[in-house]
Amino acid sequence: MIQATPTGVHESGDACIELRRLHRFFGKTKAVNDISFSVARGHVYGYIGPNGAGKTTSMRILATLDLPSYGDAYVDGFSVVNDPELVRGRLGFMPDSFGTYRDVNCQEYLDFFARAYGLIGRQRKQRLDWVLDFTGTQGMAEKPIRGLSKGMKQRLCLGRALIHDPAVMILDEPAAGLDPRARIQLRQMIRELADQGKTVLISSHILTELAEMCDSVGIIEQGKLLATGSVEEIERQQAHTRELVIRILANEDHSEVSVADVLRNRPEVDNLVVDGELIRFAFAGDVQDQAALVAMLVNQGFQVAEVTSRKKSLEDVFLHVTEGLVQ
């Protein structure tokens, strides 16, 4: 049974995308299990999770291609349950796989969707010209789609999603299969769309790119949202945010008490591993705490020869938060 809310604009502050206790069940499988988050207007939100986590199901509900079992979602203030037609006019959806018509050219393809959205006359021509220019496909406007590379087809699909000037963009794995240059160019286009005020929800398995591109991220596994916020906020939520490797020279003055003994007694140190002169461990602290730790070791007479510090990446956080479970 679908829980509906009153038809009309939903007041949600500055949020342009909002999921409110969203559920989607397929028999006993809880593809989406009580997910709630919001994305502010003009922000890019990265949706991260293993295959089968529920990302695409959530996106299909936002795109009005599926209905929730319970809960609701809002796009630019309108309910996907009660006002799907209004949602579709405000949303551009780029699925992970999309159909193209091999025997039409790029301009004909985009013109077809412009007409489907009700664009006419000068307005339709202006949008066609703008989309071809923005996606870099104007030089291929007359080229049949069957002759396009994977990267150019992705650009064309992005143009299709943009043709009606939506407020919200839903992009499901848009960088899949692209070469490095094409991924960089796609990332630049997405950031430019956000700078124009569009709200973007994007899923990807390329976590380093999401960390550079997104204002905030959400990590989902087995249909449940495990963490959400900016990359920095999620990193701070983890117990140990950086890894330290310290090289200690052998010192006869510390034959009874080793540096490992000293470090094991400190609450900010975890997962300590001794490998000859190298001491490797997870460290809960910032750079000032790191400097204080090294100073303490030096003051106690340990000969610190080298210190290497590595802050946890989004990939590290993802591996820590998730367990690799699928449904």
List the single range of 5-9, 118-122, 196-200 with lowest mean pLDDT. Answer: 5-9
Residue 304: in which H helix or E strand, if any?
Answer: strand 303-311
If you compute the radius of gyration of the chain from its CA atoms, what whole number of angstroms results? 25
CB atoms under 10 Å from CB of 292, counted, come to: 12
Percentage of the chain lying above the pLDDT 70 cut: 87
The two tokens of residue 266 are 């400190």
**pLDDT tens for residues 198-247?**
999 999 877 777 877 899 999 898 899 988 888 777 766 654 567 889 99
Nearest to 94 by CA among 204, 228, 254: 204
Please give the domain boundaries of the chain with CATH numbers for all domains: 15-235 (3.40.50.300), 239-311 (3.30.70.920)
Specify the DSSP class assigned to residue 164.
Answer: T
Residue 44 has pLDDT above 90, yes or no: yes
Residue 184 has pLDDT above 80, yes or no: yes
Mean pLDDT score across all residues of the chain: 85
The pLDDT value given to residue 45 = 95
The pLDDT value given to residue 267 = 87
Average pLDDT over residues 34-51: 92
pLDDT bin (cut points 50, 70, 90) of residue 254 is low
Question: 283 phi and psi, to 5 degrees?
Answer: -130, 125
Q: Measuring CA to CA, how many Å separate 173 from each of 7, 40, 98, 124, 204? A: 32, 21, 12, 28, 5
Nearest to 319 by CA among 205, 173, 172: 205
Average pLDDT over residues 40-47: 94
**Pairing between strand 70-75 and 78-79?**
antiparallel
The Cβ-side half-sphere exposure at 171, using a 13 Å CA radius, reads 34
List the single range of 93-97, 115-119, 238-242 with lowest mean pLDDT. Answer: 238-242
The two tokens of residue 281 are 């461990």
Q: What is the pTM (predicted TM-score) of this model?
A: 0.76
300-316 exposure pattern, b = at least 16 Cβ within 10 A, e = fewer:
eebebeeeeeeebebeb
